[in-house]
Structure 1
């Protein structure tokens, strides 16, 4: 008996190192993201599940709030302890890390997968630097959406979507008269800037929007457009509740899901929260582009691949890039996240009515980039501060504020 026990223990001791060795051979990666809400987590799990099916080992380092996640990521970079992958937007922030030589290229994966043939040219250009691909796009989001509760609209006797800002404010008055919170407001600077941008696009159009953000145009037309935008933004203050300050976006979405509020200004990732709650677009909630807007502000998510000095992590990065751009994964991810697939060759028939509207605008080129794509992180922060000061300060002097707006580019 003792002899058999010794053999058994010896076998266990021998098997331990073998199991460990097999684990070390598997591509292992730590993912840092800010996708922690119900819909975001479900979408990230689509990638995680497929990555593990293909033999990878996934380590999650999610941090709520992309500002907090970005700060933690920068601290890890400075400390020389970068994660294997980071969820982040496509834009100048990523370009800054690439220029410092801190990211690994994945152009071999992109070439093998013929990404250039299936991605919009503008996206291909934004994920490439000096002829090499560094980012793996996960999906695009429209940011000009106004979501509304069908139940709340019915209670307030609102029969159709408002076409103008005058009609919109008239409907907000009806919601208030019905005892509802008219606007579920996410009271954080970045959310307020999203609202500012969707209003701005409705006032100056796509060309005017690009002149302001890309060309830093300070003409009379641009200043007047900003002034009109601020007037509309300021008017919205009278339709939010006392608890709006600091509110997370998904908590604001929950106010629509429970029909406590009428509308919410938010990117189409809000659909992920409706989906998790079992709500259907067109039946339980509606989606419309901001009044008088002829286009849509968009932002594109991607995965970044920092240099880690770890061969297994480098191997895992390439596997993860393949998974993210798999056509089936692009669709399933979009369904959970509420986004639009980046690939042009996927089956779009599964997308909901809201996503179909977004696809139409994308296909028609009726889109303009979010400020994070065309501005530096410092300028993005200055824009958030500007909008927050105007909103929270309670100023009604839109003309004076409009003149000060362009200081954010200095």
Structure 2
């Protein structure tokens, strides 16, 4: 084949390939690898993933960029949208309805019921879920625990004994960043540990101000502050990826963070159960504090609908669910996979979530439980309490109750926690 013909073939193939502009916030090592896995699958379908990654933990920057692009008439073809924010965008008619794809692929039967409901707005499927994260995860260093004659803590009394032993040995017991969303992520796991899934959801669903004066909320706040003594001092403000690298170096014995951290640790070359292991945060063994990664197809002029629907089918398929989530640290959103294909951490997450709504608790910080206004207000109060020891727990309870009172009669669109 001559050089001219080869060139013509390349031009024809490149021009035939359709491009999807994908906006998301996956920028860490493992997140990039996971995104590349999705992009590679699209490439096999003749679709080019044009990356628009926006740095920033918890998607804070990405949401701002998305709003700006939509307002300026430059909306991406695909955007990472999660939780109740899907309602807001769906109500405005900005999301492509994927009902035909969902019906053809049997999503309602394949997905966990909570997840199938999560991606529906006004009876229409408007997003494709790609991964289920468990946030109430405690990581620990197995080798270090063996050396110190310790077992991973299953309750808070055990945690205190383990932490004290580690500290006496000159080891920092608990890794943590003072970045606001990371502090609030730690708090919501403590809140779940104290209240259980049912009351946790009641706090967020009913928005009754008096519920926030419950002694269990007070104890969660007190524990958040008391845990500071087991952290490096002063508690540094750093990205979660940096915390992961520090933990991988052995700078701390334990770390409480969502299971995206597992994906990062794997990407750094660590082995599950040998160089790190994970269990549920003390007091939450039977519960699953969850966040679900989802992609919404922006409606636009419907010029990319075929490619968007192809992407949706691909992302929800069993092979890609297993491949992607193995890298990302999350687990498949499908209930028809074989849990034996997951590692020990993932298997516990998937099996716990499969027990149903009674054990499932939607994350506040990671946009599963509330609208943006409520999420931001809660994070601000928890961060202030964590960084200022002069603020009393009762004062935070009062402020949280005031926030609920202000939002109690808000009739804006929001997703009811399940």
Question: Structure 1-normalised TM-score?
Answer: 0.91
Distance 1:244 1:324 in 2: 39
Out of 28, 33, 37, the residue aligned to residue 19 of structure 2 is 28
SS class of match (1:146): strand
Distance 2:166 2:73 in 1: 53
Out of 111, 123, 126, the residue aligned to residue 119 of structure 1 is 111
The equivalences for 1:33-44 within 5 A come to 33-44=24-35
Q: 274-283 or 220-229, which moves further after superposition?
A: 220-229
Asked if the contact 1:93–1:376 (Cα under 8 Å) also holds between the matched residues in 2, the reply is yes
Unaligned runs of 5+ in 2: 407-418
Out of 72, 82, 91, the residue aligned to residue 75 of structure 2 is 82
Distance 2:68 2:382 in 1: 27
Asked if the contact 1:340–1:355 (Cα under 8 Å) also holds between the matched residues in 2, the reply is yes
Task: Report the alpha carbon displacement of residue 195 of structure 1 after superposing the two structures with TM.
Answer: 0.9
Question: Residue 94 in 1 paired to residue 89 in 2?
Answer: no
SS class of match (1:68): helix
Question: Structure 2-normalised TM-score?
Answer: 0.90
Task: Report the alpha carbon displacement of residue 123 of structure 1 after superposing the two structures with TM.
Answer: 1.4
RMSD of equivalent CA atoms? 2.1
Distance 2:210 2:281 in 1: 25
Asked if the contact 2:143–2:274 (Cα under 8 Å) also holds between the matched residues in 1, the reply is no
Q: 396-405 or 277-286, which moves further after superposition?
A: 396-405
Residue in structure 2 matched with residue 331 of structure 1 by the alignment: 322
Out of 105, 123, 127, the residue aligned to residue 135 of structure 1 is 127
Residue in structure 2 matched with residue 245 of structure 1 by the alignment: 236
Unaligned runs of 5+ in 1: 1-7
Q: Is the radius of gyration larger for structure 1 or structure 2?
A: 1
Residue in structure 1 matched with residue 415 of structure 2 by the alignment: none
Task: Report the alpha carbon displacement of residue 282 of structure 1 after superposing the two structures with TM.
Answer: 1.5
Residue in structure 2 matched with residue 376 of structure 1 by the alignment: 371
SS class of match (2:351): helix
Asked if the contact 1:186–1:245 (Cα under 8 Å) also holds between the matched residues in 2, the reply is yes
Task: Report the alpha carbon displacement of residue 315 of structure 1 after superposing the two structures with TM.
Answer: 2.3
The equivalences for 1:297-312 within 5 A come to 297-309=289-301, 311=303
Paired residues in the alignment total 397
Task: Report the alpha carbon displacement of residue 58 of structure 1 after superposing the two structures with TM.
Answer: 1.5
Give runs of ≥4 in structure 1 deviating > 6 Å: none
Out of 110, 117, 136, the residue aligned to residue 144 of structure 1 is 136
Asked if the contact 1:212–1:222 (Cα under 8 Å) also holds between the matched residues in 2, the reply is no
Residue in structure 1 matched with residue 197 of structure 2 by the alignment: 206
Listed one character per residue, the Cα deviations across residues 227-276 of structure 1 (whole Å, up to 9, x for unaligned) are 10000000012122246432111211222211111111100111111211
Q: 20-29 or 124-133, which moves further after superposition?
A: 20-29
